[in-house]
Amino acid sequence: MEPSILVAHRDGYAEITLNRPERLNAFTVDMHVALRAALEAAASDPACRAVLLTGQGRGFSAGQDLTARAQPTDGSASPPDLGVTLETYYNPLIRLIRTMPKPVIVAVNGVAAGAGANIALAGDIVIAAKSAKFIQAFAKIGLIPDAGGTFILPRLIGMARATALMMTGEPIPAETAADWGMIWKAVDDADLVATTRALAAQLATQPTQGFALLKQALNASAGHSLEEQLTVERDLQRRAGLTPDYAEGVRAFLEKRPAHFTGRPA
Ligand code: T3D
């Protein structure tokens, strides 16, 4: 059987591909376990300084595999406890993407629906092929958005648009998503792989420890007042200032040459 997740070690970064194209990369337990393992390995590998997440085939991901959710009409089986599924699989996945100490770039190669959309939107930099679309598909099956969607989407595009998308399930094309600030940009389909690989390779040469601290600062900002966030910035900048990459960055500027960042901790 084909592995549900493919991992390729490239130029300083890990490329992780969701690999159930016949089901538009819908999530099974096996895929959750394999994806989490791949992300955890990338997070702890000092040679890996960025992650590129994408999907195989014509979809990025259609969210939860619904074939695993069919219930008999005669009431002979109790419904699944979806709270357990979220706590066991989706929530740890979103926490990992948001908090892993290196950039996560998401290349949305095709439709991203349900949790598939919200997993994509949890990435640090999201670039989509122009033919891709984002669908908050949950209401169509009687569920509420999950995988961090109710937190992340309103912060990206505002409450009015997020609520309407969540209630209507209207597909949003990649270019509209970019115009609305849901993603960073939409590129021609033929350019998606080259654009996102170049970005991942470039970010893998940057101050990785600084990026980890930057992610901490942005994550903290959501629930903070300006005063609280200024304190966070002070504390994290203190740590950034101790890194070898800060010293190298300043030296390189003064010597009028490109910086050679190692990504090593202080
Ligand atoms: O359950 C829990 O643990 C709670 C967590 C829930 C998280 C969630 O993600 S809930 C939301 C689940 N996802 C959906 O509701 C989306 C379902 N899919 C669709 O609405 C459509 O497939 C798309 C709009 C995404 C794409 O439409 P289209 O026309 O481009 O493709 P298609 O023909 O519908 O799909 C292609 C194949 O993939 C098809 O199989 P077939 O007929 O060729 O054998 C289809 O059944 C399969 N597929 C698509 N999505 C899923 C799926 N199979 C299982 N689960 C899916 N989610």
User: What is the pLDDT, as a whole number, of residue 140?
Assistant: 97
| pLDDT, mean of residues 185-213 | 98
- Taking the centre of ligand 1 as the mean of its atom positions, its distance from the CA of residue 48, in whole angstroms, is 32
One-letter amino acid of 141: I
**Mutate which of 19, 24, 87, 146 for ligand 1 pocket (most atoms within 8 A of beta carbon):** 24
| pLDDT, mean of residues 165-187 | 98
Q: Is 78 in the pocket of ligand 1 (CB under 6 A)?
A: no
**Mutate which of 20, 23, 131 for ligand 1 pocket (most atoms within 8 A of beta carbon):** 23
| pLDDT tens-digit map of 113-163 | 999 999 999 999 999 999 999 999 999 999 999 999 999 999 999 999 999
d(CA 223, CA 25): 33
User: What is the pLDDT, as a whole number, of residue 219?
Assistant: 96
CA angle 2, 66, 23 (to 5 degrees): 35
User: What is the pLDDT, as a whole number, of residue 241?
Assistant: 98
d(CA 168, CA 137): 8
Q: Is 23 in the pocket of ligand 1 (CB under 6 A)?
A: yes
User: What is the pLDDT, as a whole number, of residue 145?
Assistant: 98
N- to C-terminal Cα separation, the chain? 44
User: What is the pLDDT, as a whole number, of residue 75?
Assistant: 81
CB 199 within 8 A of CB 159: no
Q: Is 143 in the pocket of ligand 1 (CB under 6 A)?
A: yes
User: What is the pLDDT, as a whole number, of residue 165?
Assistant: 98
d(CA 82, CA 148): 15
**pLDDT band per the 50, 70, 90 thresholds, residue 234:** very high
- Taking the centre of ligand 1 as the mean of its atom positions, its distance from the CA of residue 235, in whole angstroms, is 44
- Taking the centre of ligand 1 as the mean of its atom positions, its distance from the CA of residue 133, in whole angstroms, is 14
| pLDDT tens-digit map of 65-100 | 999 899 888 888 889 999 999 999 999 999 999 999
pTM, entire model? 0.98
How many other C-beta atoms can be found within 10 angstroms of the C-beta atom of residue 213? Answer: 21
Q: Is 132 in the pocket of ligand 1 (CB under 6 A)?
A: no
| pLDDT tens-digit map of 138-148 | 999 999 999 99
User: What is the pLDDT, as a whole number, of residue 76?
Assistant: 85
CB 180 within 8 A of CB 157: yes
What is the rounded average pLDDT for all residues in the chain? 97
**pLDDT band per the 50, 70, 90 thresholds, residue 22:** very high
**pLDDT band per the 50, 70, 90 thresholds, residue 205:** very high
CB 114 within 8 A of CB 62: yes
d(CA 235, CA 239): 7
